[in-house]
Amino acid sequence: MAYTKSILAFMLVAFLAASFARGQKTTSKSQQGPLETSVCKISAEPSAYNNKLVKVRGTVQASSEYSLLADERCPGKEIWFVFADGSVPPQVEAFIPGNGIAGGSNSKGKHAQPLFVHLIKDTDYLDLRKYLEISAKGEACVDGPPPALPPDCTTYRVTASFTGRIDSVSKQIHEARLKRSSHSPVDWKGFGHMGMFDAQVVVQSVENVVALDAEELRENASKPH
């Protein structure tokens, strides 16, 4: 009888240990942070980051039709930029969205449910919006009389770290686009304006916002060294 109780006690301890280990593994997996990468790496191999949560540092570039995240280390390799609530920088007035699909396809070729991201509107996000809004007003000075006196035509080069989901075209579409000439017609298969971009970042949160006066940067760049 004592022997049987010992066996039962051993089995109970083993069961509890296994359950605890599974719990630890699940907790560890759920607490995994975003994958740290760069705009250049995403642009070079977008499908490798599709439907993944990433953390990436870049400069926001926006105009009447474009909302981009850029990296000075790979000019011309920008990715489309959008907040998780569907909004874009205030400079953007209108654009024609492409046919890129959030989530993309899984290994079996079926559509994958996009990873859910929720925009966190904390003080870092509000700082970013503030500088983008000031820049939007500053850029309007070029188009006509300043909206206020004295005029504030300041624009900023705004850089920050962004955490969010990456949506990308397939590896096949990306490789086919690399072979196209600059005169090829737009295929509309990507993201952003006319589907021109192979990837987009859907921003969940913002950190470490740095805003530099764009005019001062231009003046410093033009000075002889």
Residue 220 has a pLDDT of: 75
Instruction: Write the CB contacts of 50 (distance below 8 Å, at least 6 apart in sequence).
Output: 104, 166, 167, 168, 199
Q: Report pLDDT for 13.
A: 46
The per-residue pLDDT for 149 is: 52
Q: Report domain extents, the chain.
A: 1-32, 34-222
**Global model pTM greater than 0.85:** no
Low-confidence ranges of the chain (pLDDT < 50): 3, 8, 12-13, 16, 24-30
Distance between CA atoms of 177 and 18, rounded to whole angstroms? Answer: 49
